[in-house]
């Protein structure tokens, strides 16, 4: 833990925006260096221009590869292009538009020339492709739309990110991203920028194929079809929404005005340095709304003052592209993402959405809390457990076979009230507003509902530990096998499963999960940062959790020592 974790950033913690943007244009990647190649993790290509990992050549090559990929798939409709508030997002957005315009792709850009949350891009793609129609979403045929979001999500200010959403509206699968990355790297090897057609930015903006699209109104006006906003207004729930300097900054004010909510945008400031942020656990500025250190400012505002109660009934945070949520209540502070997912699932499937199919499943990632399993069992609902990555929920959300998909890193989405698809990418705004709906319709905060679930299903202790890892070490961890766990017990309990494939769909999990009746751990490399992660949970005690973590660390240590 960094000694200044949770404290406001100091000048020395801030990026030099001109330096970061200058490096985007000035540095040319060495494609022979794996660290400077195009690599798609769980949510797009990410890196810093200062490391020659996210530069103009990368984005031109990736965009050209997307042009070729979408053509090979017969995707000939509009491409929705959005960006967040990172310093590198606008330059990369401009590069992408220049390549798309040169290729004759119809591009929909923000009518306000502003920021676009990831869920708004997903929702616009799906609406174009028929999500709100009686026929439902089309995933084949002429005129289908797709999209690009320029964002590294919650990553530090020095980073950039670039992700592709096919016509299904969600994150592209590994087949697509693998093809795009391979083609982009080939283009870089073959000459980079010199071999890619582009037009000037002015010509791209004036092109007949470039159109203005009102992402904000399309999204905000449609929210009434997925949430009970009238209940929130009628109950007078006081909402404090902190965009954390991200793409939702204008959306929250529009939501409050459109639906007459008692909603305050706690911090409307946008600063590509994020000088107002408190440092995360490792001393970095990271817009992680699930981290108590990154959310320290909002949490402190929710503590009752000397004159009475907290200023808001519910306070929420989002990351830079608004696909993640953080929920703060006066009685509990920042909720653990797993706790809130369990509450949301219990509320939605417990009668709040009578229009959902009775057979629709609950989707969770295999590193999410086992409390969700117990809640699903108590509701008599089918649960499907998938690997890390929201892309695994896309097919079920599209068809309505999965009504809710959530992951432990505070990302989730769910169906419209009539059972049709809303978004197939994570929607932090949606989940943040759901907290207010829960309070409005039940009279109890999400944290109070979690206490009820604990009383019914038992208390658990959950933790994730991150540690630095090289690319080689990450590759070793991704190849962990059940045979590397030779013991038949874990922290005093019999092992019930050793998993390298997800039970819900049989897909490789890129690591290892070991379970007992009251505990589990999973070890896997990060898909977006040079770290590995050990997740663990115990329904016995905090001490038992430590024992489970020790066993997990031993497995990882043995694997790295043998690499």
pLDDT, mean of residues 97-123: 98
Phi, psi torsion values for 370, nearest 5 degrees: -70, -10
Query: Helix 174-189 crosses helix 56-72 at what angle (to 10 degrees)?
Result: 130
Q: Is residue 64 part of a domain?
A: yes
pLDDT, mean of residues 139-154: 94
- Residue bearing the bigger pLDDT, 147 or 193: 147
153 a catalytic residue: yes
Residue 109 near residue 215 (C-beta atoms within 8 A): no
**∠ CA 339-417-78, rounded to 5°:** 100
Phi, psi torsion values for 67, nearest 5 degrees: -55, -45
Q: How far is CA 215 from CA 108, 330, 425, in A?
A: 9, 33, 15
Q: What pLDDT is stored for residue 562 in this prediction?
A: 64
Residue 42 near residue 317 (C-beta atoms within 8 A): no
Q: What pLDDT is stored for residue 563 in this prediction?
A: 55
Q: Which strands sit side by side in the sheet containing 44-48, from one edge to the other?
A: 40-41, 44-48, 159-165, 146-150, 79-83, 107-110, 210-213
Q: Is residue 81 part of a domain?
A: yes
Residue 457 near residue 378 (C-beta atoms within 8 A): yes
Query: How many folded domains does the chain comprise?
Result: 2
Q: What pLDDT is stored for residue 505 in this prediction?
A: 93
Beta bridge partners of 494: 489
Q: What pLDDT is stored for residue 41 in this prediction?
A: 82
Indicate the residue among 185, 218, 251 that finishes a domain. 218
Residue 535 near residue 408 (C-beta atoms within 8 A): yes
Confidence of residue 465 (pLDDT cuts 50, 70, 90): confident
Q: Is residue 406 part of a domain?
A: no
> For residue 348, what is the DSSP state?
I
Q: What pLDDT is stored for residue 162 in this prediction?
A: 98
pTM: 0.95
Out of 60-69, 96-105, 245-254, 508-517, pick the least confident: 508-517
> For residue 493, what is the DSSP state?
E
Q: Is residue 438 part of a domain?
A: no
Out of 129-143, 182-196, 244-258, 299-313, pick the least confident: 299-313
**∠ CA 147-148-154, rounded to 5°:** 130
Q: Is residue 400 part of a domain?
A: no
CB-based contacts of 517, cutoff 8 Å, min separation 6: 493, 494, 496
CATH number, domain containing residue 174: 3.40.120.10
Indicate the residue among 166, 194, 218 that finishes a domain. 218
- Alpha-carbon span 412 to 415, nearest angstrom: 11
Q: Which strands sit side by side in the sheet containing 262-265, from one edge to the other?
A: 262-265, 238-242, 314-318, 325-329, 333-334
- Alpha-carbon span 289 to 287, nearest angstrom: 6
CATH number, domain containing residue 478: 3.30.310.50
- Give the structural domain span for 122: 12-218
Average pLDDT, the chain: 95
Q: Which of the residues 48, 89, 153, 447 is marked catalytic? A: 153
Q: What pLDDT is stored for residue 307 in this prediction?
A: 54
376-435 pLDDT, tens digit per residue, is: 999 999 999 999 999 999 999 999 999 999 999 999 999 999 999 999 999 999 999 999
Q: Is residue 508 part of a domain?
A: yes
Reported as type and span, the H/E element at residue 438 is: helix 428-442
Indicate the residue among 188, 203, 218 that finishes a domain. 218
69-83 pLDDT, tens digit per residue, is: 999 999 999 999 999
Beta bridge partners of 536: 463, 521
Torsion sign across C-alpha atoms 219, 222, 227, 231: positive
CB-based contacts of 489, cutoff 8 Å, min separation 6: 495, 516
- Alpha-carbon span 439 to 315, nearest angstrom: 12
Q: Is residue 313 part of a domain?
A: no
306 has a pLDDT exceeding 80: no
Confidence of residue 483 (pLDDT cuts 50, 70, 90): confident
Q: How far is CA 501 from CA 365, 377, 466, 489, 540, in A?
A: 12, 22, 22, 20, 26
119 has a pLDDT exceeding 60: yes
- Alpha-carbon span 234 to 355, nearest angstrom: 22
Q: Is residue 115 part of a domain?
A: yes
Beta bridge partners of 149: 82, 163
Residue 204, helix vs strand vs coil: helix
Confidence of residue 541 (pLDDT cuts 50, 70, 90): very high
- Alpha-carbon span 310 to 266, nearest angstrom: 13
């Amino acid at each position: 833990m960094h000694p200044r974790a949770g404290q406001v950033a100091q000048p020395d913690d801030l990026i030099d925006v001109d330096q970061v943007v200058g490096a985007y244009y000035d540095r040319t990647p060495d494609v022979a260096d794996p660290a400077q190649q195009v690599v798609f993790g769980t949510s797009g290509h990410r890196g810093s221009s200062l490391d020659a990992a996210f530069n103009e050549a990368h984005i031109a090559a990736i965009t050209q590869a997307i042009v070729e990929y979408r053509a090979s798939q017969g995707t000939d409709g509009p491409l929705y292009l959005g960006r967040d508030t990172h310093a590198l997002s606008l330059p990369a957005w401009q590069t992408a538009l220049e390549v798309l315009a040169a290729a004759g792709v119809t591009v929909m850009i923000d009518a306000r020339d502003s920021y676009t949350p990831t869920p708004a891009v997903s929702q616009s793609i799906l609406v174009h492709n028929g999500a709100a129609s009686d026929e439902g979403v089309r995933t084949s045929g002429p005129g289908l739309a797709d999209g690009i979001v320029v964002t590294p999500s919650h990553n530090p200010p020095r980073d950039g990110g670039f992700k592709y959403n096919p016509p299904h509206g969600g994150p592209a699968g590994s087949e697509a991203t693998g093809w795009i990355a391979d083609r982009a790297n080939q283009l870089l090897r073959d000459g980079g920028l010199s071999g890619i057609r582009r037009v000037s930015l002015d010509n791209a903006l004036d092109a007949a194929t470039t159109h203005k699209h009102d992402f904000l109104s399309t999204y905000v006006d449609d929210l009434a079809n997925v949430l009970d906003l009238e209940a929130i207004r009628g109950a007078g729930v006081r909402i404090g929404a902190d965009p954390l300097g991200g793409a939702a900054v204008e959306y929250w004010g529009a939501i409050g005005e459109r639906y007459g909510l008692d909603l305050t945008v706690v911090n409307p400031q946008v600063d590509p340095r994020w000088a107002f942020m408190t440092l995360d656990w490792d001393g970095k500025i990271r817009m992680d709304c699930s981290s108590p250190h990154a959310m320290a400012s909002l949490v402190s505002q929710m503590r009752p003052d000397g004159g009475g109660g907290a200023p808001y009934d519910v306070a929420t945070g989002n990351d830079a592209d608004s696909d993640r949520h953080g929920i703060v209540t006066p009685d509990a502070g920042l909720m653990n993402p797993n706790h809130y997912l369990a509450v949301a699932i219990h509320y939605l499937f417990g009668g709040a959405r009578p229009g959902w199919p009775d057979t629709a499943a609950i989707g969770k990632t295999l590193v999410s809390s086992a409390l969700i399993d117990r809640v699903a069992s108590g509701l008599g609902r089918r649960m499907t457990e998938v690997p890390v990555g929201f892309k695994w929920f896309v097919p079920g959300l599209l068809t309505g076979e999965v009504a809710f998909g959530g992951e432990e890193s505070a990302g989730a989405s769910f169906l419209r009230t009539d059972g049709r698809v809303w978004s197939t990418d994570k929607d932090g705004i949606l989940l943040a507003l759901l907290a207010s709906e829960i309070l409005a319709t039940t009279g109890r905060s999400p944290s109070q509902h979690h206490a009820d679930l604990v009383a019914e299903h038992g208390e658990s202790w959950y933790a994730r530990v991150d540690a630095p890892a090289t690319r080689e070490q990450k590759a070793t961890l991704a190849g962990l096998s059940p045979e590397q766990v030779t013991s038949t017990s874990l922290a005093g309990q019999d092992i019930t499963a050793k998993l390298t494939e997800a039970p819900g769909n049989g897909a490789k999990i890129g690591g290892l999960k070991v379970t007992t009746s009251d505990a589990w751990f999973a070890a896997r490399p990060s898909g977006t940062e040079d770290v590995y992660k050990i997740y663990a949970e115990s329904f016995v005690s905090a001490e038992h959790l430590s024992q489970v973590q020790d066993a997990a660390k031993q497995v990882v240590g043995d694997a790295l020592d043998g690499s």
